[in-house]
Structure 1
Amino acid sequence: MTATITTPQHESSTELFQRAEARTAHNYHPLPVVVEHAAGAWMTDVDGTRFLDLLSGYSALNFGHSHPTLVRAATEQLGRVTLTSRAFVHDQFADFCTALGDLCGKDLVLPMNTGAEAVETAIKVARKWGYEVKGIAPDQAEIIVASGNFHGRTTTIVGFSDDPDARDGFGPFAPGFVTVPYGDLAAIEAAITENTAAVLIEPIQGEGGVVIPPDGYLRGIRALCTERDVLFAADEIQAGLGRTGKTFACDHEDVVPDIYVLGKALGGGIVPVSAVVADRSVLGVLRPGQHGSTFGGNPLACAVGRAVVDMLATGEHQDRAAELGVLMTEQLEAMIGHGVLAVRTRGLWAGVDIDPAVGTGREVCEALMARGVLAKDTHGSTIRLAPPLVISAEDLTWGLDQLAAVVRGD
């Protein structure tokens, strides 16, 4: 569990990092580490230094790096066929869509690639449903969203973000979105009109710092949407697929949305895979030519995605996230008052508010990196922890011990 350094025989991590920064657009502010290979919960840089990964690719690596089941599925498919486009059907397509639909308890699956694509797809589907099924007047459909949201960075999506970094300088924006405070059920009820097609909500706001809504919020949204003939679209891209100790974050309130928006972990950290999953009464509004993606649902993606769904079907990883989440919560809560102001946890996912007297979230992550732990800051003094669900209790404890040492100023 300690960092191991070997003498590099090539460009150093620092040299490669500087070269990358010199030739790429600065739309990210990465920590100065250059990873060469990874397995499980550990990554190794080009200098031979090992790091414990407590970010998991923003939950895209829920099953860790190079999981043998997922690597095998990808490797076997690579030698067969990797792309046909949706102009044809390949032999992995039906099995993937059936398995994912069954996992969600829904009729139909619309595979895409990235999370943002899935959100855009859900927006289009909700509007189409609003016009064709609910009877909303043309071009009047509205979708209710929440403050503090993060659904992606396309121009449509950032248009209803209140994060100035995501929004400023990218207008004009598409109309049709109504923003209400997150966690405020009464505000959603007041915002619903005859033109409301959907409520699009993250059951837990990941980018916001693992913000968990009040108990009953999701159940209340479900009841309102049913009563007022509005679709409930749950963005489970970060929260779903085992991260919170349940298959979906909505499961914590025994709620089934009309639309599941999925991504990240669905591709096992190997390929980008996302999907919109809903019943035929919702997704059935789409007809040929109205939406598509050349790579969406490609054979490689379906082979890996099917393996991910099979792993989730056992419940093993959900149970592990719940069990290790208890350990993580106990260790993090012990830091409150000792460099930490507050923590929010659900399963193996945490938002940690750092005391500004200790430093910014970025500074804490830099100090963690020096101790062999990789994490990510968000919104100033908050850091987000999302260890791979395959992490050992011993490694998790060690990683959190490093955080405790950093915030104490050891």
Structure 2
Amino acid sequence: MQKKIATIALLVILCFMTTTVFAASTTVSTRIKDIAKVQGVRSNQLIGYGLVVGLAGTGDSNKTLETLQSVGNMLKAFGVSIDSSQLKTKNVAAVMVTANLPAFARPGDTIDLTISSMGDAKSIQGGTLLQTPLKAANGQVYAVGQGAVSTGGFATSSGGGGTSKNFTTVGLSPNGGIVERDVEAKLGSDGTISLSLAKPDFTTAARITNAINSRFGNIAGANNPGTVKITVPYMYQNNLIGFVAELEDLYVTPDSIAKVVVNERTGTIVMGGNVAVDEVAIAQGGLNVNIVKTTSVNQPQPFSLGETIVSKDTDVQVTEDKAHTIVLSATANVSDVVGALNAIGATPRDIISILQAMKAAGALHADLEII
């Protein structure tokens, strides 16, 4: 008998151990690299004004004054003097050129360009962008762009009709820009670096701080829920890249607020696993009203002096579906609510309306975001 009791006790202990391991395995951890970035490591936006030439009659019309003036100024720079009013610019289009200058880009590196028509050109397909200076917000030139334009589409017309694919007034020039000036990033110049969280959160910032201090000692502190400031250890002062690489490879468990996101247009519902629901009763039913009109004809007796009478009768029928009621305990979550509503035949829009009512009643403990 004692052996049986010991065996049962051992099985119970194993069951508890299995449950604990399973709960731990469901905890999702991620790298610091995926939820935060080093401050100062960022790209910069560039913009420029230029001309696309070589178009097959699909460029700007003579009504686009900026194109006429730009072509005239360009020709003067090459020693050609001509009256701008005499120009025909149907093979030329005025465009705005935009690009992103990556962090740590060096002179000679190439970047991609986006070229957008700003006049009344029909298409910039097959054109060539002339050399265009690209400036940052401070007005300084950091790159120049020039090269063939690819729109990835087409536009044709004939006899009053036409067809097109994609937007032919916006194109790309892969590697069409050349970096002329770099942007110095002062990374760790004062012996410290800062991590900026993608989604500021007190709990996540505290967990990142604890993970860093557990690995390198007491070198990290969170000034606010969006920033963790780190003092570079003495042994890594000459190997800052290696230190940042080790930081980014640390694993933490990010935290987030409970949220339910619903899309009314498509009936999509996305929810987090930490959404809680108080005890609540939900009734779901419908009211159907049918109105039927019929026409009756009454004929008089033969050889009588009566007249034929036509009457219209209206029959109103009201039916109400039996309401389906479900009661959920306080331990339920939104997945239980949605599963129960699906079981009684509620549509996605019914579920969205019920979730909104639960939020208004205070039974849904989560942010309800409607997109």
Query: TM-score per shorter chain, which class?
Result: under 0.3
**TM score, norm. by length of structure 2:** 0.18
Larger Rg: 2
More strand by share: 2
Structure with more relative contact order (C-alpha pairs < 8 Å, separation 6 or more):
1
**TM score, norm. by length of structure 1:** 0.17
More helix by share: 1
